[in-house]
Amino acid sequence: MNRFTLTVLADAARLAWTLAAEVQALSQAPGDAPIAIALAGGATPRRLYETLATPPFVTGVRWERLEIFFSDERAVPPDDPESNFGMAERALLAHVAVRAHRMRAERGDADGYARLLAERVAARRDGVPVLDLVLLGIGPDGHTASLFPGTAALAEQTRWVVMNAVPRLGTRRMTFTFPLLNAARRVWVVAAGAAKRAIVGQCLRARELEAAEQRWPVLGVRPDAGQLTWWLDAAAAGEEA
């Protein structure tokens, strides 16, 4: 049974600062074992990345311990404004010495990224790589990573990374699947701003509904033995605070 926590901070700035402090604490845990983190795209994660690139975190985080992956990517090169990697590089990766692995979604090589995970992440749960932290957002339709309502990837049971067709957007994206997400030690679902209030409320009220992930894919993220935390600012939480 996964452990679920809902944490609400006053505003987006406090949310970003708190999450940055959590990343720093994780990096400073005893030992020198690598720490595998998967980043997300979106405005709220970008604020976190920008915060991590400033004092005290830019020097306080043990960047040499971290190994960065991505939970999803658009089928574009890294210099495209829509690239999740490109955003993270501008906001954070260009400012710190950290190993980061870009998803080459424009090539469609999902199996290649799965092999990379198998090579770089030693821990396993039922044969699936165990990431130390996965950072996710939530879209206005309840999607997370590139797991969209009504798409084939929602039913994937064996592959860890797939190219997922999103007909509504007329595109294909590379994404982690539920088996990989739910093997993680920690998953953070992060949302900020009043624009997220409606979908956050819908999803939190629907958490116990059967097959809720078909309508709201973010609800399929339920780590098997890890910690699931929804981190919200007060504007996104609304009456759920």
Q: Report residue 28 as tokens.
A: 């400073």
User: Domain of 162?
Assistant: 3-240
Number of structural domains in the chain: 1
Q: Report residue 165 as tokens.
A: 């067709």
Give the per-residue pLDDT at 2.
Answer: 58
CA dihedral 177→182→185→190, nearest 10 degrees, is 70
Strands 35-39 and 66-70: parallel
CA distance 148 to 142: 8
Give the per-residue pLDDT at 240.
Answer: 59
Q: Report residue 67 as tokens.
A: 């190994």
Give the per-residue pLDDT at 7.
Answer: 98
Query: For residue 107, which of 173, 198, 178, 12 has the smallest C-alpha distance?
Result: 173
Q: Report residue 217 as tokens.
A: 């894919």
What does residue 180 show for φ and ψ, rounded to 5 degrees? -75, -45
Give the per-residue pLDDT at 93.
Answer: 98
Give the per-residue pLDDT at 1.
Answer: 46
Q: Report residue 95 as tokens.
A: 């400012």
Query: CB–CB of 108/136 below 8 Å?
Result: no
* CATH code: domain of residue 95: 3.40.50.1360
* Secondary element (H or E) of residue 230: strand 227-233
Query: CB–CB of 175/134 below 8 Å?
Result: no
Sheet bearing 186-191, strands edge to edge: 3-9, 227-233, 186-191, 133-136, 35-39, 66-70, 99-100
Strands 161-166 and 171-176: antiparallel
Mean pLDDT, each 10-residue run in order, the chain (241 residues)? 87 98 97 96 94 98 98 97 97 98 97 98 97 97 97 98 96 98 98 97 94 96 96 90 49
Query: CB–CB of 113/70 below 8 Å?
Result: no
- 239-216-228 Cα angle (round to 5): 70
